Structure 1
């Protein structure tokens, strides 16, 4: 499930993946991602489903965040910003995985070095 591919001119394009590595119960993962200018809406992800989107970076200002819900758990966090996360995303790919015990990050796709960043 992907959002329309961005065409960048004089800018770099990045891609963010939000993946559900959750069991089917207590239900699917719901992800709502947005930036100041773009609301990507709600996306319902079943086990191993991937929601990805891409965008052109505006130097020093681009920020995307997501709010995730799974059963009675929820969390909000930045999935991309130009100050810290951008430098961790090799080949301009950022990978976030929701697991039963929290949220994991890898700076590549397919993910290598996946590590826990947040607890629910």
Structure 2
């Protein structure tokens, strides 16, 4: 009977140590899963502004007005169903819409990160919006 109690205390101690290590790890890294950073930037030459509104089911990043060479980014921990999408509008100096579209900034079900950290660069240019992953995969997601 003394052995069963020793095993239970030993198991309990191991679990407590494991919880402390995981808590410290989560505090330092912020994630138990992959971490993703998405950057959206305006690379449209001329006097165009880019209106970008990105969000997920949990987070609304609100509309951002980006002038040439301006951008914003956000970082998040990936869940199995993580999905962020953005709606963008290209406007001329008079404020007139010159093209718009929507795209998935990140969809874990369609293209999982596959690493502990992923970086996605979303750049609006004169033809539309290009999305480039840290592994070099590039796709045009919006055409003006």
- Answer yes or no: same fold by TM over 0.5: yes
Aligning the two structures, in what range does the TM-score lie when normalised by the shorter sequence? 0.7 to 0.9
Deviation at 1:102, TM superposition (A): 1.1
TM-score (norm 2): 0.67
Q: 1:56 to 1:113 in 2, by over 3 A?
A: closer
User: For the aligned residues, what is the CA RMSD?
Assistant: 2.3
Specify every segment of 5 or more residues in structure 1 that has no aligned partner in the other structure, as ranges.
1-6
| Aligned residue runs from structure 1 range 1-120, under 5 A | 8-25=30-47, 27-59=48-80, 61-71=81-91, 72=97, 73-87=99-113, 91-108=117-134, 112=136, 114-120=138-144
Question: Which protein is richer in helix relative to its size?
Answer: 2
* Range that drifts further, 69-78 or 82-91: 82-91
Give the count of matched residue pairs: 110
The 2-side partners of 1:31 and 1:94 are apart by 15
CA deviation map 1:49-95 (0-9, x unaligned): 12111111112x10000000112211111000102233488941011
Specify every segment of 5 or more residues in structure 2 that has no aligned partner in the other structure, as ranges.
1-28, 92-96
Whose radius of gyration is greater, 1 or 2?
2
TM-score (norm 1): 0.79
